[in-house]
Structure 1
């Protein structure tokens, strides 16, 4: 039976913890430093959170929820409050356990190896399935610039290229990951804000359509649209997952998480309302590039839509860059503890190389499948599957915070804030549980299959650890 490991000794206040060197499969150290590896400061950590949240979702968001009507704006408000609750919980957990791995670390410290493995496995699935979805979304905007959809082979090649370029940037080292992330965030944030504000000059309430467009009840419409919207909020935990690469993580992870989430939420609200008010509802429902359609309607012609398509590609490449790093960090942390194969501990230039390569290969295979093996609904199901798999580590993280607070482990929690922190953690847990319900039966069914497939991997790794311990 696995037991929860003891909490690591905290470094002195104000200093960044030093991650232990990872042992490779042959006994050598898996981590290597050099001038290509560099810890992230607060600006880059904030950009990582913003860049991962504001990825392809912001450009697809209005069209994805338009079938539910403007009631989706209510769901957006609830979702934002829940995302901020999660952001605050992740900040507090990172202050307690400032190590690479995020939800995996918190679940394992609180509940033991199996819970930690489930968090790592589920988060890893979320990461590479999201990468496949982002690549598919990016091709939709690339088609505005270059008509790649005229050929299935060209479409697949474009989607794969959009995944492998960020992977190569990651393999070049964390120094380049941070640089790409900061540049991509700046390039997309400023013009998107200008477009969002400009949209109010052309706002027409007649374009909004009905408040509740579908046949679902009001509660059902809010839950269903919130489940789709969560895909655009994935990444709130980005700084916590990469805490080992952040300078002074006890101080900067929480700040970066909250600042990045608030900035993304503000931009989401402006852009959603702007597009809803400029594109007629019937047109928006069937749009594959809603921002391009919005700008074309504002200014006439197609030059505006072309410019927005360029911005969308920059945004999505930046998100793929950040998500590729996150998809490698969680299995790295789990492998370091013997819960994933040891090949995932190999690091070069500050980046877990095996994690990056395995992730991009799996995402590439899923991308090819998405284009060749099914109807258009496959993409929507994948988005909802990521919603379910993301809520598993979210639920475990919120439960871990509740455990730390209520079990008397308040050595790093101010006792005067115990009630407030407990209420916040309960809100984050309830919010995550609500999202599971809103994902729908099909997504939960497929997500559970993905999740349970990992039980066999855990059994294999547990057997190997036991055999090694008795050898």
Structure 2
């Protein structure tokens, strides 16, 4: 049996949130929710991904297939959890409902860290692609200013309301998929198997090669939870969150697999392993000319801007849900035009400070460590969400008595849990160590908030 949920129209506003409604606040339908998932999964990494896994040979495509099945299993779990409890917050809501306040806080805290650090990383990466089109990276100051503009434009779209967030997300997703599909589908017509290179060029056994290439691919599917986190803004969330999550994850997987396969078959293997712009090389091989690099750069900037737009909203949604429950400072519960504006502002400010430090300190070491930590913090909510689903299945809470469906859900949840653990292991020992420190640093803040709640209740 699910816990009580918001009963306001379309689950988009609260009785205590008079600023949440209005003409600028609009719930997402299935197309925008799907675009949110696909747009957040597919960022800028796809533009370098084929070159990253090329040294392992075509065996890496097997790793891609295995990971795709596991990611879809995780998407199905989020769909089942959202059908049970379609409130804004996603993994935070599921973990807190199953295991209590502390688990909920750790989920919200880790997801928030992931959000603002990842936004800083996206902005820095986008500057590199934008510099191919416009000379914006001539100095640390100009590059820093450009990155800050790229951070704050999506934030301003969020301030304008969910209506504009959805519009930007839908348009950016469509625009970035045009060049990606050009390579993914068009490349099949120029496909030459002789260019793919050996099946296994890693120097290890097939199993070892699959595991090694999977470590690079694991993080390609971060973002499958996007619709679940914003469930309160999705129309008919019990139905559409699950559909959007599965469709969006499957769509992203198709683009990933076809794009990688096309690049493998159009760019010679010995050149691909040293490529810094594999999609650009693929376009040049397909059509000739020197415009491929510019086209890919434009697509990458559009892709990352769409990611920043979606992740800015998601980074504020989880603290918003936690603040409503007293597990984050109350200011994070402020919402205007359907968007947690205080959370958006704090996320943008923290990402801006980290970005500025990256450019102006003269060293990227601290920044690189923080980015690596997010690969760990992002998986904590996944693992707790799958644990919550396992809890419901074993306890029978709110589950159907249909035995075949119960077995199917148990298998899917087990695969999703294994995927979450695999993600965490793939982050590496150093990231897990640093991430654990980040995670438990929040415990001090939780102690203060819990003490205040108890004192207010007494």
**TM-score over 0.5 for the alignment?**
yes
Task: Please name the residue that 1:139 is paired with.
Answer: 127
Change (3 A) 1:327 1:216: farther
Residue 241 of structure 2 corresponds to 253
Q: Is the 8 A contact 1:227 1:387 kept in 2?
A: no
Partner of 2:376: 388
**Mapped pair 1:20 → 2:14:** yes
Go from structure 1 to structure 2 and tell me whether the alpha carbon gap of 1:64 and 1:201 turns closer, same or farther (over 3 Å shift): same
- Which of 295, 298, 319 is matched with 2:286 structurally? 298
Q: Distance in 2 between matches of 1:6 and 1:41?
A: 23
3-state SS, counterpart of residue 220 of structure 2:
coil
Matched, 1:269 2:272: no
User: Which stretch shifts more, 56-65 or 94-103?
Assistant: 56-65
Work out the CA distance in 2 between the residues paired with 1:467 and 1:223.
51
* Alignment CA distance shift 1:177-1:271 (3 Å): same
Alpha-carbon spacing, 1:148–1:9, altered in 2? closer, same or farther (3 Å): closer
Number of matched residues? 458
Instruction: Determine whether 1:408 maps to 2:404.
Output: no
Of 445, 450, 453, the residue aligned with 1:462 is 450
Match of 1:8 in 2: 4
| SS across alignment from 2:448 | helix
CA drift at 1:334: 0.4
* In 2, Cα distance between equivalents of 1:254 and 1:292: 35
1:147 deviates by 3.0
Q: Is the 8 A contact 2:2 2:398 kept in 1?
A: no
Counterparts in 2 of 1:457 and 1:207: CA distance versus 1, 3 Å: farther
User: 1:164 and 1:416, CA in 2 relative to 1: closer, same or farther beyond 3 A?
Assistant: same
1:445 equivalent in alignment to 2:439: no
Q: Following superposition of structure 1 onto structure 2, how do residues 196-215 of structure 1 map, counting pairs within 5 Å?
A: 196-214=184-202
CA distance in 2, matches of 1:217, 1:359: 44
- Alignment check: 8 A CA contact 2:376 2:435 kept: yes
Alignment of 1:79-90 (within 5 A): 79-90=67-78
2:118 matched to 1:130? yes
Give 1:353-392 correspondences, 5 Å limit. Answer: 353-373=341-361, 382-392=370-380
Specify whether residues 189 and 414 from structure 1 end up closer, same or farther in structure 2 by C-alpha distance, changes over 3 A only: farther
Alpha-carbon distance in structure 2 between the residues aligned to 1:210 and 1:157: 44
Counterpart of 2:147 in structure 1 is 159
Question: How far apart are 1:221 and its partner, in Å?
Answer: 4.3
Tell me, what secondary structure is at the counterpart of 2:358?
helix
Q: Are the aligned partners of 2:184 and 2:262 in contact in 1 as well (CA < 8 Å)?
A: yes
**Are 2:101 and 1:101 equivalent residues in the alignment?**
no
Q: Determine the structure 2 residue equivalent to 1:183.
A: 171
Q: Is the 8 A contact 1:118 1:451 kept in 2?
A: yes
User: 1:268-304 deviations in whole A, cap 9, x for unaligned?
Assistant: 1011112223334454444443322322233233213
CA distance in 2, matches of 1:227, 1:107: 26
Counterpart in 1 of 2:101? Answer: 113
1:322-361 matches, cutoff 5 A: 322-361=310-349
1:149 maps to 2:149 = no
Going from structure 1 to structure 2, the CA distance change for 1:337 and 1:200 (only over 3 Å counts) comes to: same
Contact 2:11 2:234 in 1 (8 A): no
Instruction: Report the secondary structure of 2:286's partner residue.
Output: helix
- Structure 2 residue aligned with 1:237: 225
Deviation string, structure 1 residues 305-335 (Cα, Å, up to 9, x no partner): 2122212211111111111110110000001
Q: Corresponding residue for 1:38?
A: 26
How far apart are the structure 2 equivalents of 1:442 and 1:90?
29
The alpha-carbon distance between structure 1 residues 285 and 137, as it changes in their structure 2 partners (threshold 3 A), is farther
Determine the structure 1 residue equivalent to 2:48. 60
**Alpha-carbon distance in 2 for matches of 1:86, 1:349:** 31
| 2-structure distance, mates of 1:341, 1:254 | 30
Equivalent residues of 2:218, 2:426 under 8 A apart: no
Taking only aligned residues, the RMSD between alpha carbons, in angstroms, comes to 2.5
**Alpha-carbon displacement from aligned partner over 1:112-132 (angstroms, at most 9, x marks no partner):** 000011111111111122212
Cα separation, 1, equivalents of 2:201 and 2:351: 34
Task: Select between 184-193 and 162-171 the one with higher mean Cα deviation.
Answer: 184-193
CA distance in structure 2 between the partners assigned to 1:437 and 1:263 by the alignment: 26
Alignment of 1:298-317 (within 5 A): 298-317=286-305
Unaligned runs of 5+ in 1: 23-28
Q: Matched residue of 1:149: which SS?
A: coil
1:251 and 1:320, CA in 2 relative to 1: closer, same or farther beyond 3 A?
same
**Deviation (angstroms), 1:373:** 4.8
Alignment CA distance shift 1:210-1:160 (3 Å): farther
Q: Give yes or no for contact 2:12–2:20 (8 Å, CA) kept in 1.
A: no
- State the distance in 1 between where 2:228 and 2:450 align: 26
Distance apart, 1:150 and its partner CA:
2.8
Q: Identify if the C-alpha distance between structure 1 residues 18 and 365 changes in structure 2 by more than 3 Å, giving closer, same or farther.
A: closer
